[in-house]
Amino acid sequence: MERAFSPPPLAISGTIRWPRAGRFPSFGLTFALACALGVAIVAGVGWGTVPISPSLVARVIASHLGLGAITVDWTAAQDAIIWQVRLPRVIGAVLAGAALATSGALFQGLFRNPMADPFVLGISSGAAFGATLALLVGPAASLAALGIRTPTAAGLQAMVVPVTGAIGAVTTAFGVFRIARRGSGFLLTDLLLAGFAVGSMLTAATTAVLVLNDQMAVRLRLVFSWLAGGIAVNGWGHLAVAAPVVLVGLVVAYGLAHWLDPLVLGEAGAASVGVPVAMTIRVTLATGAILAASAVTLGGLIGFVGLLVPHMLRRLTGLSHRRLLPACAFGGGAFLVVADLLARIVLAPVELPVGILTAMIGGPSFLAILRRARRAS
Amino acid sequence: MTASTGASLPGGFRLEGLHSTYDASGAEALRGISLAIEPGEYVAVVGPNGAGKSTLLQVLAGLVHPSQGTVSLDGIALRAHRRRDLARRIAWLPQRLDPAFDITVEGLVALGRTAHRSPWGGDAPADRRAIDGALAATDTTAFRDRLVQELSGGERQRVALAMALAQAPQVLLLDEPTTHLDPAHAQGLLDVVARKHRDEGLTVVAVFHDLNLAALAARRVVVINGGEVVADGPPTVALAPTVLARTFGPVMHAVMHPVVGVAQVLPARAPLAL
């Protein structure tokens, strides 16, 4: 018995109404979002207990990047605050936001469903569980990898967390895909319930690991605030693993764009126009999961960014992933930097984990998108 | 219309001892089909519901792999072709195209160019020409910016055909292309297919629910029942009263078309007129 494509069951998902396709020029949109990202970075670095003017922020960054001859008229302390402390955190938010938004767009294209998102599908929870398991192996170094300072930080062991996080995410992604799949399609309810069930189990397992391990229990508050979605980057070293992984992930995602568009026809339809469907599914699941896992190691469980950002941008880009994915990379980065800034401002001087803020914006939006999706199907 | 089809006209199939099973049950959809389809031929496939017509078409499209037997396209096993190469040669039109998301007519037709484009590059002039040509051939240029979801059944089917034509295929596989259409729209769609077949030597294999349309559209009709070929030949032979009685039961009455002069069938009786 060999059958590449089983016939899809009747009434599989109906037509899910995406926002109507726009005709915004692709380059113009990407450029506008890149500018927005630049502004967000400057604002994110400038705001803090010691406010720094945008022009100073821009000049310090430019001088470190070697852009033009800039006379140094700032103090070493200002330099350290901008370049050593604040910028790595903001860049961490950029990478996490870009990774989450791109991951969401990939899963939405693959599952043909606007509700798909690494957080909703439980894939972020899989990454968190994998990362947490690494804490058991080598707690001190692993905590350092999450940006939680301990005296015995760094070393090769800091690599363990991103790797186990990625393994957890990829395993979860393939698992949820298998569970939710019916024939060669996905019902909206199957997808959401599979993600919910798997995510709940993994979150419970993560909590169990944290509570039952003595060494973890001591640092529970720190680990919890990471899990709740706090950008925990406190130096360039922390980005050494995540940054290349995210950048490679974004490039691979862009390479998949060409094969993701025809999936709108279903798997058999996509294959008939030339898409290597099995390979596309595997690479998309793995790339989306690894991007989500990178975001988790940078900032814990930040929900709904992968849902909100592609949803907003699709109004401007239409269905084309070639337009959508670069827009998500820049737009997602800018979105999370602004959200992180807001999370620092709203209850200042107390910092709210940004995941709590995105959940408060994202939850209601999720329900609104769900209502649209249900009405259409 | 298209820039990328070669000058030669291949597109012939050889099927030998083809078996295909359904998913889980293990029941056979095809039970030993052997068939030769010549390049440039127009073959209509008919048969009762569940006879295996759609499965046969999906096997030809390379979407379903047979559990036994071989399928080859121009002498090379279908499985040996890469998906992308196959899509440049074979276009498959399912019974009904239901894009999962809102998509414009032009966007949908452009998907037909997937196998011709580079994954990293954009639209080449050849792609633009193929898309424009396919829209023109199916008379759908006027609503290229409309959403596929907003079209009527007849318009939607023409757009689906435009997508298949944009693939610039050598073989067109149609799965009940006219089932949801009224007679005028059905005729219009089949006219487009017939023109492509006649002018460009496209091989056409079309599954028909309507025996009369099959007889009018194709010079060769293959009748399938229970996963086997039970008749194969010109409409007069394939739709002979004995074949009809064996395949569909004693419910058909064969006649000649008064104008065109091909075999046609009528229901044998009125409902309840026992």
Q: Does the pLDDT value for residue A19 go beyond 70? A: no
Using a CB-CB cut-off of 8 Å, the residues of chain B touching A13 are 100
Tokens 């950029």, residue? A94
Using a CB-CB cut-off of 8 Å, the residues of chain A touching B94 are 268-269
The Cα of A65 is separated from the nearest Cα of chain B by a number of Å equal to 30
Between B26, B98, B107, which is nearest A21 by CB?
A: B107
Q: Does the pLDDT value for residue A377 go beyond 60? A: no
pLDDT at A303: 87
Q: Is the CB of B69 inside 8 Å of chain A's CB atoms?
A: no
Contact at CB, A318 and B107, closer than 8 angstroms: yes
Q: Does the pLDDT value for residue A23 go beyond 70? A: no
- Per-residue pLDDT band for A22 (boundaries 50, 70, 90) equals very low
Q: What is the rounded CA–CA span in Å between residue A193 and residue A38?
A: 38
Using a CB-CB cut-off of 8 Å, the residues of chain A touching B64 are 2-5
Q: Is the CB of A21 inside 8 Å of chain B's CB atoms?
A: yes
Q: What is the 3-state secondary structure (H, E, C) of chain A?
A: CCCCCCCCCCCCCCCECCCCCCCCCHHHHHHHHHHHHHHHHHHHHHCCCCCCCHHHHHHHHHHHCCCCCCCCCCCHHHHHHHHHHHHHHHHHHHHHHHHHHHHHHHHHHHHCCCCCCCCCCCHHHHHHHHHHHHHHHCHHHHHHHCCCCCCCCCCHHHHHHHHHHHHHHHHHHHHHHHHHEECCEECHHHHHHHHHHHHHHHHHHHHHHHHHCHHHHHCHHHHHHHHCCCCCCCCHHHHHHHHHHHHHHHHHHHHHHHHHHHHHHHHHHHHHCCCCHHHHHHHHHHHHHHHHHHHHHHHCCCCCHHHHHHHHHHHHHCCCHHHHHHHHHHHHHHHHHHHHHHHHHCCCCCCCCHHHHHHHHHHHHHHHHHHHHHHHC
Q: Does the pLDDT value for residue A71 go beyond 60? A: yes
Contact at CB, A271 and B83, closer than 8 angstroms: yes
For residues B174-202, one letter each, b for 16 or more C-beta atoms within 10 angstroms of the residue's C-beta and e for the rest, the string is: bbbbbbebeeebbebbbebbbebbeeebb
Contact at CB, A265 and B101, closer than 8 angstroms: no
DSSP for B198-216, written as a single string: HHH--EEEEE-S-HHHHHH
Give the predicted TM-score (pTM) of the model. 0.87
> In sequence order, what are the residues at sequence separation of 6 or more whose Cβ sits closer than 8 angstroms to the Cβ of residue A351?
A230, A343, A344
* Neighbour-count burial of B137, counting CB atoms closer than 10 A to its CB (0-12 exposed, 13-18 middle, 19+ buried): buried
pLDDT at A217: 67
**What mean pLDDT is reported for chain A?**
83
Between B84, B100, B114, which is nearest A15 by CB?
A: B100
Residue-wise pLDDT for A126-180, tens only, equals 999 998 888 776 655 556 666 655 443 444 446 778 888 999 999 999 999 999 8
Contact at CB, A1 and B66, closer than 8 angstroms: no
pLDDT at A234: 72
Using a CB-CB cut-off of 8 Å, the residues of chain A touching B102 are 15, 17-21, 319
Q: Is the CB of A266 inside 8 Å of chain B's CB atoms?
A: yes
Q: Does the pLDDT value for residue A361 go beyond 70? A: yes
pLDDT at A324: 93
Give, for all 274 residues of chain B, the pLDDT tens digit. Answer: 334 444 346 888 999 888 888 765 667 788 889 999 999 999 999 998 888 898 999 999 999 888 889 999 988 898 888 999 999 999 999 888 888 888 899 999 999 999 998 877 667 888 999 999 999 999 999 988 899 988 988 889 999 999 999 999 999 999 999 888 888 889 999 999 999 999 999 999 999 989 999 999 999 999 999 889 999 999 999 988 889 888 888 888 888 898 988 889 888 888 876 6
Q: Considering only residues A92 and A369, tell me which one the structure prediction assigns the higher pLDDT.
A: A92
Q: Is the CB of A269 inside 8 Å of chain B's CB atoms?
A: yes
Residue-wise pLDDT for A35-46, tens only, equals 999 999 999 999
> What are the structural domain ranges in chain A?
77-376
Using a CB-CB cut-off of 8 Å, the residues of chain A touching B101 are 15-18, 112, 114, 264, 319
Between A258, A264, A272, which is nearest B61 by CB?
A: A272
Per-residue pLDDT, averaged over A83-95, amounts to 92
Residue of A nearest to B118 (CA): A258
Between B87, B120, B122, which is nearest A274 by CB?
A: B87
Q: What is the rounded CA–CA span in Å between residue A128 and residue A133?
A: 9
pLDDT at A81: 87
Between A1, A258, A268, which is nearest B94 by CB?
A: A268
Per-residue pLDDT, averaged over A349-353, amounts to 82
In a domain? residue B4: no
In a domain? residue B8: no
pLDDT at A140: 58
Please report, as a single letter, which amino acid is at residue B60. L
Q: Is the CB of B102 inside 8 Å of chain A's CB atoms?
A: yes
Between A18, A265, A320, which is nearest B97 by CB?
A: A265
CATH superfamily of domain region A77-376: ABC transporter involved in vitamin B12 uptake, BtuC (1.10.3470.10)
Residue of B nearest to A20 (CA): B102
Between A15, A272, A319, which is nearest B92 by CB?
A: A272
Using a CB-CB cut-off of 8 Å, the residues of chain B touching A3 are 20-23, 64-65
In a domain? residue B234: yes
pLDDT at A362: 84
Q: Does the pLDDT value for residue A329 go beyond 90? A: yes
Q: Is the CB of B119 inside 8 Å of chain A's CB atoms?
A: yes
Q: Is the peptide bond before A114 cis (omega within 30 degrees of 0)?
A: no
pLDDT at A272: 94
What does DSSP assign to residue B172?
Answer: E
Q: What is the rounded CA–CA span in Å between residue A272 and residue A251?
A: 26
Q: Which two structure tokens, joined as six digits, stand for A203? A: 């979150």
How many domains does the structure of chain B reveal?
1
Using a CB-CB cut-off of 8 Å, the residues of chain B touching A4 are 63-65
pLDDT at A1: 37
pLDDT at A141: 55
Question: Taking Cα atoms as reference points, which of A167, A181, A175 lies closest to residue A113?
Answer: A181
Range of the domain at B189: 13-267
A168 with A133: CB under 8 angstroms? yes
Residue-wise pLDDT for A46-63, tens only, equals 987 788 889 899 999 988
Q: Is the CB of A126 inside 8 Å of chain B's CB atoms?
A: no
Number of other CB atoms surrounding residue A365 within 10 Å: 15
Q: Where are the alpha helices (DSSP H) in chain B?
A: 53-60, 83-89, 105-111, 125-137, 153-166, 183-200, 211-217, 235-238, 241-248
Using a CB-CB cut-off of 8 Å, the residues of chain A touching B104 are 21, 318
Contact at CB, B102 and A20, closer than 8 angstroms: yes
Between A13, A255, A318, which is nearest B100 by CB?
A: A13
In a domain? residue B206: yes
Q: Is the CB of A280 inside 8 Å of chain B's CB atoms?
A: no
Q: What's the CATH number where B84 sits? A: 3.40.50.300
Q: Is the CB of B64 inside 8 Å of chain A's CB atoms?
A: yes
